Amino acid sequence: MIEYNYQKEDFTLEHGHDIQFWLEGLIQQEAHSLGEVSFVFCDDEYLLKINQDFLGHDYYTDIISFDYGLGRQVNGEIYVSIDRVADNAEDLGVEFTNELHRVMAHGILHFLGFKDKSDSEAKEMRKKENEALESRSFI
């Protein structure tokens, strides 16, 4: 089950059911099963506090994921800063929705074992994000 929670009151996810189906497909493609994943859509300050309190980092980020996976079952929490996603979309010259979906897929890909710390890992992560975005049938 994928659920959506809103800390940022002026944001509502469009196509939530379609996104859930799309992300479930991404999970199944990597031979995993869906347990419980919670997306929390928040603002910069909310995510900064999580970054400081739980990770010891004092900077803004677009996403933080907490992986509670059990074997090949995907479980976890994904926090997404809508402020960062909007700024990144503008900086990259892409649609907000496209960048939001990229970040959502990015969080799921972390749960599937993909990393992005090294250059080679980041390159593979970007490839998987692009493949995921291309597989959307609802946009």
pLDDT of 86 over the 90 cut: yes
**Residues 39, 79: Cα–Cα separation, whole Å:** 6
Average pLDDT over residues 121-134: 96
Q: Which pLDDT does position 111 carry in this prediction?
A: 98
* pTM of the predicted model as reported, rounded to 2 decimal places: 0.95
Q: Which pLDDT does position 139 carry in this prediction?
A: 72
Q: Which pLDDT does position 138 carry in this prediction?
A: 83
Nearest alpha carbon to residue 105 among 51, 42, 37, 59: 37
In sequence order, the 6+-apart residues with CB closer than 8 A to the CB of 70 are: 35
Residue ranges for the binding site for Zn(2+)? 106, 110, 116
Residue 126 tokens read as 């970007």
- Provide the 3-class DSSP secondary structure of residue 3: strand
| CA 30 and chain centroid, separation | 16
Residue ranges for the binding site? 106, 110, 116
Phi, psi of 53 (to 5 degrees): -70, -40
- Provide the 3-class DSSP secondary structure of residue 128: helix
Looking at domain 2-134, its CATH superfamily turns out to be: Metalloproteases ("zincins"), catalytic domain (3.40.390.30)
Give tens-digit pLDDT for 16-55. 999 999 999 999 999 999 999 999 999 999 999 999 999 9
pLDDT of 125 over the 80 cut: yes
- pLDDT, the chain, mean: 96
